[in-house]
Structure 1
C-alpha cells in the first residue's frame, strides 16, 4: 500500500529496505547524492598531507636560502668596500698576500688580499676574499688597478 492509497486516519506501513526500516538502500539513492566512502576519504587525506608536508619542507628551504643570501649580500658589500679603498688609495698595494679583519653590519669579517702583477707590468691584479662566520660561503672579488 503506498502513501497515495491510504485511507484517512491510517498510518502508512514502513517499507522494508536492505538497511532496515526508514533508511533507503544504497541502490535507491541517486548516484549524485551519494557521499564518499571511508577509503576515498583516507586516500584524499593522505594525498593532502603529502602535499602539505612538501610545502612545509619547501618553506623551510626557502627561509634557509634567504638567510644565506642575506649573508652573501653583506659579504659582497664588505668586499666592494675594500675594493673601493684599494682603488681610491693613491699608493698601489704591496705585492703578495695580506689579510685582516673588518667589522661591518654588526659582524666581524675576515678578508684576504692577493696582489700580483699581470702580463702588463703597469697593471696589478688584486684578488679579494671575504669570509663571515663559519658555515657561510666566502665572497670573492677581483679588481685591477694601475701599478703607478
Structure 2
C-alpha cells in the first residue's frame, strides 16, 4: 500500500449542500400544501355551517302558520360560535298557493352577501297547504 493514499470517509461539502437544497425544496412544498389544506378546511366548514343555517331557515319559514309575504328579509344570527347574516327573498310563482324562497347565508365578517364564494345559497318552495 502506498503512503500517499488516504482513506476518505464522510460527505464532501458539495454533497451536504445538495442534500440541504433538496430538503429545503421539500420542506417548502410541504408547508405550502399545509397552508392550502387549512384554507380548504376553513372554507368547507363555513359552507357546511351556512348550508345548515339555510336549511334551518327554510324549515322555520315552512313551519310558520302562514305563507311569508313577498319581499326581502335580512337578519343576523349566532350559530356555531360565529355571527351570520341571512337574507330571505320570497317571490311568487305561477301557482298562487306556492311561493319561491331564495335564502343566502354568509358569515357576518364577510363583505358581500351576493358573492358566490362568501357563503351559501338555497332555493326552496313553500306551499299554502
Query: Could you say which TM-score interval applies, normalised by the shorter chain?
Result: 0.7 to 0.9
Relative contact order (alpha carbons < 8 A, sep ≥ 6): 1 or 2 greater?
A: 2
Report the counterpart of residue 137 of structure 1 in structure 2. 118
Structure 2: unaligned runs, 5 residues or longer: 111-116
**Cα deviations by residue, 1:25-70 (Å, 9 ceiling, x for unpaired):** x7xxxxxxx7654323322220121011110111122112212222
**Cα deviations by residue, 1:111-146 (Å, 9 ceiling, x for unpaired):** 111111123333211000112132471211111121
Report the counterpart of residue 11 of structure 1 in structure 2. none
- Quick one: which of 68, 75, 79 aligns to 2:43? 68
SS at match of 2:105: strand
Structure of greater Rg: 1
CA distance, structure 2, for counterparts of residue 147 and residue 115 of structure 1: 14
**Cα deviations by residue, 1:90-123 (Å, 9 ceiling, x for unpaired):** 3111011111122222322211111111233332
CA RMSD, aligned part only?
A: 2.3
Number of residue pairs matched?
Answer: 123
- Quick one: which of 59, 71, 80 aligns to 1:105? 80
CA distance, structure 1, for counterparts of residue 75 and residue 27 of structure 2: 47
SS at match of 1:79: helix
SS at match of 2:34: helix
Report the counterpart of residue 124 of structure 1 in structure 2. 99
CA distance, structure 1, for counterparts of residue 15 and residue 94 of structure 2: 73
Structure 1: unaligned runs, 5 residues or longer: 3-14, 27-33
TM-score using structure 2 length: 0.80
More strand by share: 2
